[in-house]
Amino acid sequence: MARKPRLHYPGALYHVILRGNARQDVFHDVEDRYRFYLFLQEGTERFGHRILAFCMMTNHVHLAVQVDIVPLSRIMQNITFRYTRWHNWRHGRTGHLFQGRYKSFLVDADSYLQELVAYIHLNPLRASLTTKPATYEWSSHRAYLGKETIPWLNIDQVLATFASDLTKARRIYSGFVLERVKEGHREDFHGKGSADTRVIGEDRFVESALERADSPVLRKPDLDTVIAAVKKMYGLEEEELASHGQARRVAEARSMAAWAVQEFSGGTLTDLARRFGRDLSAMSTAIRRLNERRKGDIGLAEKADRLARELKVASCQA
């Protein structure tokens, strides 16, 4: 029987389980784990999703991910590809590191968000790796308690469901988790018992999720739309974008166009390079430099966000 397609819509929350191929270890030491952290962080910066909770075991990972317009499949493909390539290079291995198809379950955030986060954070106890969730280093639980800071982790959204005051929210959250310490494996967080095994929620949510996921697929903006948006943002003509001058504003605009084509467009970077009379490798290098600059340049990051929003509107109107 063919597998059902994954469900996607902006704002969807997922419980993701990523396992090592044939149950092999995917983390061998601290350096492996911190590299995976880096790829998680860069993923949020690139695709605009939120990671609300995580737990890194030895041979698998649990994530609570809330997506924006980029579907979960692309997010996970990016993480698994980059980490597998790095892991195999570092450890002198070849072949698949993760199972071919990760598991993901669409979650009713209104009813299950708190429970899901607690369930993820209690994985080390269920595996008998510790007796107290706060002593396990490789989950987001300690960040929720205020014992460490993970910049790319979004804890505010969940803590706000417990109380508006941060200190009070952390106290209530801690008690909420401890009340569930003796709770074992929950089939419902693995899609069992639902009207649709891809969804964690009551029948009404399942119906609503299926309707939203079946909405017309947004058409990706084409090359002309991206170039028009960049021209408008920078006040340039296409002849200037295709010129061989190295004026900073023009070079930045070309880099922004290349980034937008790669991230949001139905066109290709090859087509853009040909249109601007540039080498494909030069365009790829420009994107990489732009992404590095965005981390420390607030103005540039705001331009990228504005361009992304405009292209999203263009997709909705297509």
Q: Rounded to the nearest 5 degrees, what angle is found at the Cα of 70, between the Cα atoms of 202 and 73?
A: 70
CATH code: domain 223-317 is 1.10.1750.10
Supply the mean pLDDT for the chain.
Answer: 88
Handedness of CA 266, 271, 277, 283 (dihedral sign): positive
* Chosen CATH of 13-213 out of 3.40.50.1970, 3.40.50.300, 3.40.190.10, 3.30.70.1290: 3.30.70.1290
d(CA 230, CA 29): 44
- Sheet containing 199-200, strands listed edge to edge, beginning at the edge strand earlier in sequence: 50-56, 60-66, 13-19, 103-107, 199-200
Q: Report residue 130: phi and psi, to 5°.
A: -160, 165
Q: Are strands 60-66 and 50-56 parallel, antiparallel or unpaired?
A: antiparallel
Handedness of CA 19, 23, 25, 26 (dihedral sign): negative
Structure tokens at 269: 């970077």
**Contact assessment for residue 83 and residue 39, using Cβ atoms and an 8 Å cutoff:** yes
Tens digits of residue pLDDT in 264-285: 777 788 888 888 888 888 888 8
Q: What confidence score (pLDDT) does residue 247 get? A: 82
| pTM assigned to the model | 0.71
Q: What confidence score (pLDDT) does residue 1 get? A: 42
**Contact assessment for residue 119 and residue 100, using Cβ atoms and an 8 Å cutoff:** no
Q: What confidence score (pLDDT) does residue 214 get? A: 65
Ranges of residues in the chain with a pLDDT under 70 are 1-3, 214-219, 245-246, 313-318
| CATH topology agreement for domains 13-213 and 223-317 | no
The domain ranges of the chain are 13-213, 223-317
